[in-house]
Structure 1
């Protein structure tokens, strides 16, 4: 089923790994995926219930180009888009709330200098600015973070977020900005 979902995304690969610590697996996979380790690369990480805006990659590439003179002086540089939404998806559609959260997992990327073995998985997402220069962009909503009862969004000590049903205007924005259609969500969770 997962492979069928990725048919139209040739750059995505499904790999099967024996059980071991997730960070170690991800670091290894990221470095193995680099076509030429002597070249710089851009890395990002998402949880399985995260989404980014349809222009995330384009916006990231523009930010990297704007920093072209700065990047070679650092082993790694973080790029953070910190405005987005927490959302819950279900048979009743989408419930959401706008959020501002610096260095959240979604809409966070890292430029890695050529020859550097670091990966974005070497660091906790909120700790990236402790180990490298970091740029934050609070301009436009760039992520949707799943907020539900079956993943790490509900860990102990996490402050509850009040989510409201999306109105027509917000539903249109979700469709345009994130390619998430409220009617498709309802159908997917009702079937």
Structure 2
């Protein structure tokens, strides 16, 4: 059974729906998302947190669609084009503003669906989060273990729940080990290739309403950031777990391709 792994990352896409922060008009939304200081911070998170592990995936057979608007200000649009040329798995989609956000997301993803695949593993990836370097490999392997659940309904969620919350506030940064069920990072929604939906169609906090789900609580699989630019700054429900500083430094390097000094670099860049 061939599984295509297909993700969507929205980079300051100007749409009127799909976010918790609301604006009254397109111009107001555009001004907010394209504010130069905000774009600089988003680029910092994207390149320093998100990209290292995508470059290092142990299974390179995946597609990550980066969705933004055709009027994204320079130098960021040019930088995204450069990344597309550099990273084979990264595909840039310039989507004009659309009234309905889910249709916009579908428009970005649809050109990259492989109709010869038996299953599409859809995932959403926020531009300031990270997944582990073996996320793609693990998702394929674990899907094979539970594919009977998918066959029964044609929908299945696979949730890697063990992660780190990176909280940045008032110039200080700290990491909080946390088990969070159905957080957006490292969560895969398996659908048929002809489905009209993507991962964005399903509220990750209410997945049980639509499909069976499997939670895999080991190993450490994601970093989720909380800071002033978040659409939602809530850590949400979860369970604490313990990791000493020495082990934490080893894990952030081995699991996410991040250097132990990255927290200081982040703090200095904010």
Sort the TM-score into its range (normalised by shorter chain). Answer: 0.7 to 0.9
- CA-atom RMSD in angstroms: 2.7
Aligned counterparts of 1:100 and 1:185: Cα–Cα separation in 2: 21
> Of residues 192, 195, 217 in structure 2, which corresponds to 1:138?
217
1:15-26 alignment to 2 at 5 Å? Answer: 15-20=93-98, 21-26=100-105
Aligned counterparts of 1:22 and 1:182: Cα–Cα separation in 2: 38
What corresponds to 2:133 in structure 1? 54
User: Is 1:172 aligned to residue 250 of structure 2?
Assistant: yes
What corresponds to 1:14 in structure 2? 92
Whether the 8 Å CA contact 1:44–1:110 is kept in 2: the answer is yes
What corresponds to 1:72 in structure 2? 151
Per-residue CA shift, 1:70-127, capped at 9, x if unaligned?
322222111111110101469x895200111111100100111243222211111112
TM-score by length of 1: 0.82
Structure 2 regions of 5+ residues with no counterpart? 1-78, 238-243
Aligned counterparts of 1:127 and 1:168: Cα–Cα separation in 2: 36
What corresponds to 2:175 in structure 1? 96
1:96-135 alignment to 2 at 5 Å? Answer: 96-135=175-214
Structure 1 regions of 5+ residues with no counterpart? 160-165
Aligned counterparts of 2:161 and 2:266: Cα–Cα separation in 1: 28
Whether the 8 Å CA contact 1:71–1:113 is kept in 2: the answer is no
Aligned residues: 183
Aligned counterparts of 1:126 and 1:34: Cα–Cα separation in 2: 25
User: Is 1:82 aligned to residue 161 of structure 2?
Assistant: yes
TM-score by length of 2: 0.60
The structure showing larger relative contact order (alpha-carbon pairs under 8 Å, at least 6 residues apart) is 1
Whether the 8 Å CA contact 1:31–1:119 is kept in 2: the answer is no
Aligned counterparts of 1:129 and 1:47: Cα–Cα separation in 2: 22
- 1:146 to 1:188, Cα distance in 2 relative to 1, 3 A: closer
Whether the 8 Å CA contact 1:41–1:111 is kept in 2: the answer is yes
